[in-house]
Structure 1
């Protein structure tokens, strides 16, 4: 709003302009537009610009008093944090929000957002007052972003949603507070998107909240440590997307929502019950501390989510090789596996062929490997050993696209790649990125920071492994690629990752 003026000066400036602009309007060359058009233009301005323009125009001043977007943050209020000035910023934030809401007409608010930082020291009574003032009938979006310290000291006032004021809200995003809707709470009838981060709410309270949200389409709960059981009732017919992450005490997730199609879960393992009629087609799953997520996925998920079409698995610690299974993912077309943590040397990447076998209609496969902890035997360590092949193996007849990010010189990864080339009879594209995170795969020079002309700092160990991986591609992979397959090789940057690497001189196998 007014970065260089104190709140008192801001008030006097607006009052002065409000009473004095009448005699000066002739000097302004305003286009001759209807007042409602000017109000529309004004409503589309950012909060800071909208406040400034209200100081020079009576038309804008009138529309300012019913401005539809009230977004209160350090940026929109013109507050710049400087060293040693936290107290002034805290006082300025409270004063400016008070001033704006005091002069607002209590009508027309569509979007309300508070971004409150740790050093603002906003009193909870101020928060309650602001919400009671700004949440009015017709409001559509409410966002309250609080610092972590408020998690145990502030409870969102459910009373602010009573008397029909919450029935027009379609988007609600709360962080780091307590939210305790009582039994029979039915004040969010239009709610389509609900995001809760760090919110103290029990499973029963969340059930009370969503039980009457018949328009709910998207539910996301993260770091909600009071949740033990999450149940999604069958009458939420519009719910299509569910995200649950880092709710450490959560033990059970049950959903009978008939049209839930996208489900993301990240955290410790839970009992997952989706029902026999589950229509989940896109599932992303990652377990924070439990090992062997890939093995869990291939053995358990065919029964839990039988209609999957896209499966993404994040493994933070894989200790055992992927087993062969009799059950199939008969609908999966896209499989993505990300090894984002330690993969023990005992893990055999070639065993991932069993996952490909379990997906008979698979069309694309993405594998991501963390090169920073490559402890597997290199394909160059024993030049006399031959690459393994799996005899009488199932053909991957529909697999068209394969991408391996972080391709390394591990012998079992080279063997997996050769296996795919032999058995994927419809393969159209193979991408091997030898240095994970670089851009423009396939170009000779591909700096990950093109504007500065230099790649981001990368350890010598990773660069050395990338050169070895590129050597493995040239020696063992290239000649096996059919002419019908487009091969994309992402090698180390030829500008930033130059390194002398001596590879064993052995004949191709």
Structure 2
């Protein structure tokens, strides 16, 4: 049977000194017997059950209750129950607990290591081992019971991070609401609810379980909130125009979250200083409109129904989109510096709105569809771009698309080209000749980085074209290892391939590319 967590705010009823003395008196009563003996588990459970959450986290009637709580937290940095116990008593208590109980108690005790400011409850740190024979409902009840017991032992002050990682849903809303209220009244700066079954994707989990509706009002009611980072997975998020304003929230991460198009703009009304927003697999979104004067970083990923994105943000610096082809309109983004667009089903291209971005310098695009009908002619030139990253399938049409893109970016200084392994038809030309675009001139190009080189004929021809168009080239590196761009926009190595294939690729690069370079170019094979 799960314990019910009665959760008033973490404020003290009556005098703080009386409350502490009362807790110490009950602790000593529970630790009767010889001083060197360990407390039996039954006595320990009775002792903690006497510490009702109402007495620890009572709301209080005094107007300066919140101030007293904060002052108490400053005066006593070792503020939780475990920290105020003598060392020998604490050691006896922990030795009496089951192994998993002791581990979680240590995570909230400053006396045992780090300051007790991080509360993370997950399958691996609440349960000592996974019992495959337990039903899902039984494990959920056991998990809830243990989390409630941990919160009963905590005073509710000095919590910086509060996280729950477990397969819970709307059926457990009564407990989840109380945990969220605990985090809010404990002045948590970072809250994360990752409500997914371990080893199963959130999209699959949501089919069989109703999502939990996050109680945003727990952090509002006109009170100042210390929340700076909120991360929700497999939840329902309903910000409204009438929601209380959160003057401190800077980062919002929504993954597999139920949210409507009309509620996206409400996010910026609720969180007026929001700097980072990530929307991942929020499949209810169709047409997103972003309008913000504070947002710096926008990341949108894999929305199944998504059709269009429109951005109005003078502050936005970085934008990334990863998913199927959608219409992206940069209506007003004058300070944009970096754009990453990764279309999974079509080749991406330079946006016609780039010339309106006075600060733009870097773009990352993908050419992962070896289409026979090329569509890559640019009517404009984009003179502000200095860094271009491309991730492509090395078909002839894709390579020609790269050449036309370079023709439209004459002042690029650093060019990175990553090949993805591709064994299909490369659309070989009938006559064996490539009609390269005329007038390619790259006078500012100094560095070319190539990854995933496997002696592909289209790529060899493209490198020869680059060398001819860049008289000031200083550095060319070629590697048979290919890389992928991770979520932090850092190129990470994926696979090395067979050693024989790597050696062959290096030999071909040395003979076909290296021997044709002028002495002023430093050529590196990795």
Q: Same fold (TM over 0.5)?
A: yes
Q: Aligned equivalents of 2:29 and 2:447: distance in 1?
A: 65
Q: Aligned equivalents of 1:240 and 1:278: distance in 2?
A: 12
Q: Aligned equivalents of 2:154 and 2:126: distance in 1?
A: 16
Q: Aligned equivalents of 2:309 and 2:303: distance in 1?
A: 11
Give the superposition deviation at 1:256.
Answer: 1.9
Deviations along 1:148-184, one digit per CA (max 9) or x if unpaired, are 3356332112232233567221100001111112331
- Specify the SS of the correspondent of 2:406: helix
**Which residue of 2 is the match for residue 262 of structure 1?**
318
Taking structure 1 as reference, are residues 399 and 101 closer, same or farther at Cα in structure 2, changes over 3 Å only? same
Q: Aligned equivalents of 2:261 and 2:344: distance in 1?
A: 22
| 2:382 pairs with 1:329 | yes
**Which residue of 1 is the match for residue 480 of structure 2?**
434
| 2:369 pairs with 1:314 | no
Deviations along 1:439-475, one digit per CA (max 9) or x if unpaired, are xxxxxxxxx99xxxxx87x5xxx77765553343133
**Which residue of 1 is the match for residue 289 of structure 2?**
231
Give the superposition deviation at 1:331.
Answer: 1.1
- Specify the SS of the correspondent of 2:368: strand
Taking structure 1 as reference, are residues 78 and 152 closer, same or farther at Cα in structure 2, changes over 3 Å only? closer
TM-score by length of structure 1 reads 0.73
**Which residue of 1 is the match for residue 105 of structure 2?**
51
Q: Aligned equivalents of 1:126 and 1:299: distance in 2?
A: 48
| 2:194 pairs with 1:145 | yes
Give the superposition deviation at 1:292.
Answer: 2.7
**Which residue of 1 is the match for residue 177 of structure 2?**
128
**Which residue of 1 is the match for residue 303 of structure 2?**
247
**Which residue of 2 is the match for residue 298 of structure 1?**
350
- Specify the SS of the correspondent of 1:475: helix
Structure 1 counterpart of 2:517, from 481, 491, 498: 481
Q: Aligned equivalents of 1:334 and 1:54: distance in 2?
A: 46
Q: Aligned equivalents of 2:217 and 2:513: distance in 1?
A: 66
TM-score by length of structure 2 reads 0.70
Give the superposition deviation at 1:52.
Answer: 3.9
Give the superposition deviation at 1:219.
Answer: 0.6
- Specify the SS of the correspondent of 1:123: helix
**Which residue of 1 is the match for residue 148 of structure 2?**
98
Kept after mapping to 1: 8 A contact 2:313/2:332? no
Which structure 1 segments of 5+ residues have no match? 1-13, 26-33, 439-447, 450-454, 491-509
Taking structure 1 as reference, are residues 80 and 245 closer, same or farther at Cα in structure 2, changes over 3 Å only? same
Deviations along 1:289-339, one digit per CA (max 9) or x if unpaired, are 3x232xxx1363535756421100123313144634231121111101112
Q: Aligned equivalents of 1:430 and 1:286: distance in 2?
A: 25
Kept after mapping to 1: 8 A contact 2:370/2:426? no
Q: Aligned equivalents of 1:299 and 1:264: distance in 2?
A: 13
| 2:370 pairs with 1:370 | no
**Which residue of 1 is the match for residue 19 of structure 2?**
none
Taking structure 1 as reference, are residues 20 and 79 closer, same or farther at Cα in structure 2, changes over 3 Å only? same
Deviates more, 1:160-169 or 1:423-432: 160-169
Kept after mapping to 1: 8 A contact 2:473/2:521? yes
Q: Aligned equivalents of 1:35 and 1:156: distance in 2?
A: 33
- Specify the SS of the correspondent of 2:513: helix
Q: Aligned equivalents of 1:124 and 1:391: distance in 2?
A: 62
Q: Aligned equivalents of 1:478 and 1:21: distance in 2?
A: 83
Taking structure 1 as reference, are residues 200 and 53 closer, same or farther at Cα in structure 2, changes over 3 Å only? closer
Taking structure 1 as reference, are residues 106 and 276 closer, same or farther at Cα in structure 2, changes over 3 Å only? closer
Q: Aligned equivalents of 2:518 and 2:246: distance in 1?
A: 58
